[in-house]
Each structure stands twice: as structure tokens, then as C-alpha cells.
């Protein structure tokens, strides 16, 4: 490349400002491309002209920054058209680039010129007529709104009518004609519009307009490529057979989006996988397509059938039904044949370097890289027949990945039994070899994966094109991470082995089975993933954000009940001792006037929380029951007043209290607070959970020098063996959620049995500033 001064001079000659030149030369690839384009441009203009037409320079720069790699071989032709001013506007250039992207291999000059608007001249009269036509359509609204009318409507419609018209000319004409219609702006036109008062929202969840809470709606907005237009995406490589292969692919999928979710069946899915499931299945659903659940079972030593079932269970729990369920092992025969083909193409070789030699980014070059094709074929067959030991040889591809990894492994020897194919194979393909080829075989339209695979995208395309098979498009999105937890399979296994958690579905974990067991509704996880958006940036969030989504969903789906965790027995002395209990009708959702209801008994003996009673009146801010202060009972339409405290003789602790009840309508003043209570209750076990780790990043040695195990909160689980709950939950089913009033949301645990219910606290309620 030329010297820096010469580069700057050429960019200034093109018409760039000093600041633009400084920004441009920071981008080496763009600068190199511009130098090539300027050289071509200079061959097509008057050599005696010292100054370049400003519009030509602007269009050349636009062509450099907006054209994609796959049409770079057409740039000399494009520059020639710009230089001769056959393409003389941004709309024409954009149309020309779009045509070339659609026809990347061969160009019909006549068709190209028609599509690019060559020789099309839009006169001022045409622009004036188009604007006048649109103003006439909107005349009444313009008169009413005057200068507050959205002139963009007129400009948009005029540009549709005059595809190759200059955008600035259209806007100038629109402003001119509107001013002629309305006259000069008045003081009223220039005054800031008064904001209309919005009605106060009703109680409940308030949704911001810009916030997307539905994953399907979010994915309808995503700007991925259209089916069959793979060649228009950044970095896509076009070969002589690309268009034929794409046509065959489009016919196979019948115009429908097809994605896949490809987990390894060697562990339980976690919250990060929930984002992947929602994006892959959700994108297909949003566009009327299909999503395949594919088990990437190429590592036989770690795969188990129980994980296969668990993964499918979680996908269906999140609300998705796979179009097909496949396994990478379904394609082992075809993958082997493709490996042989790669060897025959001279693009793969058998290598004997040890795994430890290949670690890192600068391993020594393989001395076996230049073996003959015949020798590689024979050795690969020897690997397949089981005549070599594990680690003795691998099949490597002749390619350097973007991350710098040289000649990645395609096949390795594993003498382990596979969970599906048994002992048929002793060589297994790697992820780098399998992933893109199975995507191709399954005609995946959009290969969606997390950001760390971006550096493998070029290898993905290289392998498909080297083997001359259909090449899908890989799109990457940012990973989802949650603070105060670990999701690594190895580390969760360590927590289980150490007895810190009980199993993969322990409610303190963030595996999907654990979240379901804790009571997190799948709808909340879908909402949470939607709220995170879809960007290329990795996201790390506090668990409180997920818990907020859980509250939003459960607030409208979990029926209310009353439970007492630390019971204090209360005798209402002014009710007859042997009277039958009164049954009260309680709404399942008190804020909903049309709510369903359940019945609970109200008897002479009730139970309240120990914390709702104090035996003295020392705290003036305490609002509940004291010797001098009565308290209301939720739903009972009465209050209770203390009469007597009974203490145990052995430790002087309160045994029970006696109270009198008074109907609310007979009270001179309303109680300062109303509390929950139970009568004739069920005895249940309740489990309360806190964060399992004390630091945001328990795996970070800077935060936790002694390792993640040392950061565990050993008191993250509290068991209350004898809590009391009202009889409305008696027939609660596993995973069914309830809101225990004033306490939080709770879910029926899998440890429950007939006559013995166990509840997990899913999340607490939002704290109230008045709860004292």
C-alpha cells in the first residue's frame, strides 16, 4: 500500500474531510479497498482534471462502505458507471448494489442498467407533480395540523413514485409547496405543543411502549436474511454452484424458515440455554417456520439418555414443539463420506501430534501436513477400523480459523460406546466438522448461535463450500449470563458432590429444571428473554431482573391463599366454643372483580404470624396487634383486640393469646393494618431460598480467590417443617403456583406426596414501605 501521506492525499482528493480521512485510515481493510477503487476511478475520468466531481467522490465512498465482499469483483464495473455519471445518485447506487447482490455470478448489462436507473432522468417538474399529488391526498389533514403535519408521509410516497429521484430534492420541494399552502409560520405554529394529560393507569403492570415483552413479537422485528438470499449477507462466500445449491435448498424447505436448537446431551440445560431455545424456536414460530431439536451427540464418553429426555422436557416446558427430533449421530455415515471427500480434495490429513501439543494458539506445525492423498485415505481407514489407539491420530482440516487456530481437528479416536450407535464407530467427528455439515443436510435456513462462535463463521462457510454442499447463514447473538450463580456442568456436579446442593434441579441453581421446580413459570422466562432483547453484546444481569418477570406473570396467574410460617395460636373468646365455623368466600385474584373464588373456614381458633403480635406498645410505628392496638383480619370483615396472653410455664414464651373480635362497621376508627391468618389449616413444609453465592461473579478469582465453593452461602436454604396454610391449596398439583398473601409466591415441590405438601418459595413479594 502507498505511504500514509499519499493515502491521505488520495482520500482528500476523493472529497473526504480531514476528520473523515482520520477515521477512515483507522480501518485498514476499508482504506485498502478505497485505494483500489480510486485507482480504477482515475482510469475512467479526465486525466487533466485536477478536481474530482464532489458527487462522484461521495458515491465511490458509499460504494466502498455499503457493498459486500461477495460482489467486490463487480466494483470496477460499478466505479466505471459512477465515473461516467451513468449512476449519479444514492438511490441509483443502492439499486445497482442490490441488483449485483441478487445476481452475484453473472450480470446482464441491459438488466443491470434498467434496475440501476441508468439514463433515467427525474425532472424538477416530475418531483413537483408527485409532491402536489400527495399534498392533495392529505390536504384536509395538513390544513388542520398545519406545520405539525408529518411531512415524512408525503416524502415517502413521492419517493415510491419516483424511485431514482434525489431525496434532498424531494424534501426541498415538499417543504416549498407546504409553505406555499400554509403561508409563513405563526406564533401558534412555533409554540411547543401542550402535552395532553394521560389518564392514570389502573393498578397492575404498566408496559412501556418501547419494551418488548413477547419473544415472538421481538423476533418478528429481527432483520435476518430472507430465505434463499444467503448470498446477500456479510461474509458469505459465493462459488460457481452457490445459486444452484440455494435453489435446491429453497425447494426443499418450500419457502419456510428452518432453524435448529443443537444441545449436547451431556448435562442439564440452564438459563443461558433458555435464550437459545427461545431464539431458535421463537424465530421459526415468528415467521411461520419450523425448528429442529438436534442432539449434538458426537462425544460418546459424556452423553446420557437421561439428559436427552430432560432437554426435550425443558423445550416443551418453555412452550415449543420440535418440528423434528434428530441426532448428529443420524448422519455419521454421511459425515464419514464427506471426510473422505475432503481428503480427496487435498484439504484434510491424518496427523499424529498429541492433544497436548495442539493446545494454545501457536502449536508447532504438523510434520504430516503434506502427506499424499492416498496415504491419508489409507490412514483414515485404519483409524476407522480400530487399529489405532486413542490419541494416536486425528484427522485435521487445512484451514486457519479467525481466532488463529491452525488446522482444526475433524475426527478423533474414541473407544467409548455411543448411547445410540453402540460400538459401530470408534472415530467421532468434532463440533467444527459436524455443526455446519449437519446444518446443511437438514437445510437449515438460519444457523443461530451465541457470540463466541463468530470466530468460527468463516470456517463454517469454508467447509461447506470446500465440499460443494449447501451453505446456511450463521447469525450470532450475545450470551445471557446471570450474576450470583454458576452454570458450568462441571461446577454444578462439584456442588452436588460436596453436598452443597441436592441435585441438578435444586431450586437454588439456575438450571431450567431447578427454575421450574422453584416455581418460575415458563412464560416469565420467555418474557425475560424478550426484555433482554437480541443484540450481539453478551449480557450479564442480576437475578432480580428475572425475579421481576416472574412476579409480573405470577401476579395474574397464581391464585391467592393464606399461610402462616411461624404460627401463633389465637382464641377468639367472644365466639361460642362449639359453634360451627363460618365459611368465607375469598377471591383468587382480589384485584379482578370477575375473579373465581374459593372458600375457607373462620373459626374460634385461628393462627397468625408471631411477628404480627407484640406484647408491648413500645414501638409507635408498629401497626399490628399489641395490648393497646387492635388489628384487622383479611377478608373476615372484623378486627381483633387483645384480652389475655398465655405463657408456657417452662420458658415463659407465649403459648397462645385470647382476643375478642369486633365487626369493622362497629369500629370508630379503622385498624392501622390488616393481617393474614388461617383457621382449621393444613400442615405443610415450606422451603425458603436465598442466593447460593455471596459474590456477583463466584468464578472470578479476583472476587473469590479461594474458588467458587468457598463463596457458597451455606444457609441459602431454610426448611420450615410445620407451616400452616388454608385448605384451598389441599389439592395443589406439582409445580402449581400460589401467592401466599404478604409472604410471596410459592410452588408445590416434587417432594410432595398425598397428605404431605411441600412448598418452595419462588420469589418474595415486593417490599412495602408501610409494612411495620
The residues that are catalytic are 264, 479, 489
The DSSP output letter for 545 is H
CA distance 239 to 462: 11
User: In degrees, to the nearest 5, what angle opens at C-alpha 463 toward C-alphas 462 and 466?
Assistant: 80
For the record, the C-alpha cell of 367 comes out as: 510434520
Cβ proximity of 447 and 474 under 8 Å? yes
CA dist 105 → 80, 244, 537 (Å): 19, 11, 34
CA distance 479 to 468: 31
Q: Give the chain's length.
A: 772
Q: Walk across the sheet containing 717-725 and list its strands.
A: 560-561, 737-740, 744-748, 758-763, 682-689, 717-725, 563-564
Closest CA to 148 of 90, 197, 95, 188: 188
Q: Residue 448: beta bridge partners? A: 475
Burial of 42 (0-12, 13-18, 19+ CB in 10 A): middle
Burial of 182 (0-12, 13-18, 19+ CB in 10 A): middle
Contacts of 564 (CB under 8 A, 6+ apart): 607, 608, 609, 676, 677, 678, 681, 723, 724, 725
Region of 499 please: left (phi>0), alpha (psi -120 to 50) or beta.
Answer: left
CA distance 407 to 348: 9
Instruction: Check the CA dihedral 654-659-663-665 and report its sign.
Output: negative
CA dist 157 → 153, 154, 174, 438 (Å): 6, 5, 11, 45
CA distance 436 to 399: 15
Beta strands in 638-757, from DSSP E residues, in sequence order: 638-647, 654-663, 674-675, 682-689, 717-725, 737-740, 744-748
CA dist 589 → 137, 198, 560, 586, 679 (Å): 51, 27, 6, 9, 20
Query: In sequence order, what DSSP letters do the residues of 412-434 get, joined into one string?
Result: EE--SPBTTTBTS-SEEE-HHHH
Phi, psi of 644 (to 5 degrees): -160, 145
Cβ proximity of 716 and 673 under 8 Å? no
Amino acid at each position: 500500500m502507498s505511504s500514509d501521506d499519499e493515502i491521505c492525499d488520495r482520500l482528500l482528493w476523493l472529497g473526504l474531510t480531514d476528520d473523515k480521512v482520520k477515521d477512515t485510515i483507522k480501518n485498514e481493510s476499508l482504506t485498502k479497498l478505497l485505494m483500489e477503487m480510486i485507482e480504477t476511478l482515475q482510469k475512467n475520468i479526465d486525466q487533466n482534471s485536477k478536481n474530482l466531481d464532489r458527487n462522484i467522490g461521495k458515491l465511490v465512498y458509499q460504494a466502498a462502505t455499503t457493498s459486500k465482499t461477495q460482489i467486490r469483483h463487480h466494483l470496477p464495473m460499478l466505479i466505471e458507471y459512477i465515473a461516467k455519471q451513468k449512476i449519479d445518485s444514492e438511490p441509483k447506487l443502492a439499486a445497482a448494489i442490490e441488483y449485483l447482490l441478487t445476481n452475484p455470478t453473472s450480470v446482464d448489462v441491459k438488466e443491470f442498467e434498467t434496475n440501476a436507473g441508468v439514463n433515467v432522468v427525474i425532472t424538477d417538474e416530475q418531483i413537483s407533480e408527485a409532491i402536489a399529488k400527495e399534498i392533495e391526498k392529505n390536504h384536509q389533514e395538513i390544513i388542520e395540523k398545519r406545520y405539525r403535519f408529518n411531512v415524512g408521509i408525503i416524502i415517502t410516497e413521492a419517493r415510491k413514485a419516483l424511485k431514482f429521484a434525489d431525496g434532498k430534492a424531494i424534501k426541498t420541494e415538499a417543504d416549498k409547496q407546504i409553505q406555499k399552502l400554509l403561508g409563513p409560520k405563526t406564533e401558534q405554529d412555533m409554540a411547543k405543543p401542550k402535552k395532553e394529560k394521560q389518564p392514570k393507569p389502573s393498578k397492575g403492570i404498566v408496559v412501556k411502549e418501547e419494551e418488548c415483552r413477547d419473544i415472538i413479537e421481538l423476533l418478528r422485528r429481527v432483520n435476518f436474511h430472507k430465505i434463499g438470499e444467503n448470498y446477500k449477507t456479510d461474509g458469505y462466500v459465493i462459488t460457481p454452484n452457490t445459486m444452484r445449491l440455494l435453489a435446491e435448498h429453497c425447494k426443499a424447505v418450500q419457502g419456510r424458515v428452518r432453524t435448529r436448537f443443537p444441545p449436547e446431551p451431556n448435562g442439564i440445560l440452564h438459563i443461558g440455554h433458555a435464550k437459545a431455545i427461545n431464539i431458535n424456536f421463537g424465530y421459526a414460530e415468528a415467521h411461520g417456520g419450523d425448528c429442529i431439536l438436534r442432539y449434538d451427540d458426537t462425544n460418546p464418553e459424556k452423553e446420557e439418555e437421561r439428559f436427552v429426555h430432560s432437554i426435550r422436557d425443558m423445550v416443551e416446558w418453555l412452550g415449543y414443539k420440535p418440528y423434528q427430533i434428530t441426532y448428529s449421530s443420524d448422519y455419521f455415515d454421511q459425515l464419514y463420506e464427506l471426510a473422505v471427500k475432503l481428503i480427496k480434495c487435498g484439504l484434510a490429513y491424518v496427523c499424529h501430534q498429541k492433544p497436548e501439543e495442539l493446545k494454545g494458539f501457536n502449536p508447532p506445525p504438523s510434520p504430516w501436513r503434506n502427506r499424499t492423498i492416498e496415504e491419508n485415505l489409507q490412514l483414515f481407514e485404519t483409524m476407522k477400523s480400530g487399529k489405532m489407539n486413542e490419541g494416536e491420530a486425528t484427522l485435521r482440516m487445512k484451514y486457519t480459523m479467525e481466532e488463529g487456530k491452525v488446522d482444526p481437528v475433524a475426527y478423533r479416536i474414541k473407544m467409548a460406546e455411543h448411547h445410540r450407535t453402540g460400538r459401530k464407530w470408534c472415530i467421532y467427528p468434532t463440533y467444527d466438522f459436524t455443526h455446519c455439515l449437519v446444518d446443511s443436510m437438514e437445510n437449515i435456513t438460519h444457523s443461530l448461535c451465541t457470540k463466541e462462535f463468530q470466530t468460527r463463521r468463516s470456517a463454517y462457510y469454508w467447509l461447506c463450500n470446500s465440499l460443494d454442499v449447501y451453505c446456511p447463514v450463521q447469525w450470532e447473538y450475545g450470551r445471557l449470563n446471570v450474576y450470583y450463580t454458576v452454570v458450568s456442568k462441571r461446577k454444578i456436579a462439584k456442588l452436588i458432590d460436596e453436598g452443597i446442593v441436592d441435585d441438578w434441579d435444586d431450586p437454588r441453581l439456575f438450571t431450567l429444571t431447578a427454575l421450574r421446580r422453584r416455581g418460575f413459570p415458563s412464560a416469565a422466562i420467555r418474557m425475560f428473554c424478550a426484555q433482554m432483547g437480541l443484540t450481539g453484546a453478551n449480557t450479564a444481569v442480576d437475578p432480580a431482573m428475572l425475579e421481576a418477570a416472574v412476579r409480573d406473570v405470577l401476579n395474574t396467574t397464581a391464585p391467592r391463599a393464606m399461610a402462616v410460617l411461624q404460627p401463633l395460636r389465637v382464641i377468639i373468646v367472644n365466639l361460642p366454643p362449639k359453634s360451627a365455623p363460618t365459611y368465607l368466600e375469598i377471591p383468587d385474584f382480589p384485584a379482578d372483580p370477575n375473579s373465581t373464588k374459593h372458600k375457607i373456614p373462620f373459626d374460634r381458633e385461628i393462627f397468625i404470624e408471631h411477628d404480627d403480635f407484640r406484647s408491648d406498645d413500645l414501638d409507635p410505628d408498629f401497626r399490628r396487634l399489641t395490648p393497646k392496638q387492635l388489628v384487622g383480619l383479611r377478608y373476615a370483615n372484623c378486627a381483633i383486640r387483645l384480652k389475655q396472653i398465655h405463657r408456657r410455664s417452662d420458658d415463659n414464651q407465649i403459648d397462645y393469646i385470647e382476643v375478642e373480635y369486633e365487626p369493622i362497621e362497629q369500629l370508630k376508627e379503622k385498624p392501622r393494618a390488616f393481617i393474614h391468618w388461617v383457621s382449621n389449616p393444613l400442615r405443610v413444609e415450606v422451603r425458603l431460598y436465598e442466593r447460593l453465592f455471596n459474590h456477583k461473579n463466584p468464578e472470578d478469582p479476583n472476587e473469590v480467590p479461594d474458588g467458587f465453593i468457598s463463596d457458597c452461602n451455606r444457609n441459602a436454604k431454610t426448611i420450615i417443617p410445620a407451616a400452616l396454610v388454608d385448605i384451598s391449596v389441599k389439592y395443589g398439583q406439582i409445580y402449581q403456583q400460589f401467592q401466599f398473601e404478604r409472604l410471596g409466591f410459592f410452588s408445590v415441590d416434587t417432594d410432595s406426596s398425598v397428605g404431605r405438601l411441600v412448598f418452595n418459595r419462588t420469589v418474595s413479594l415486593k417490599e412495602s414501605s408501610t409494612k411495620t
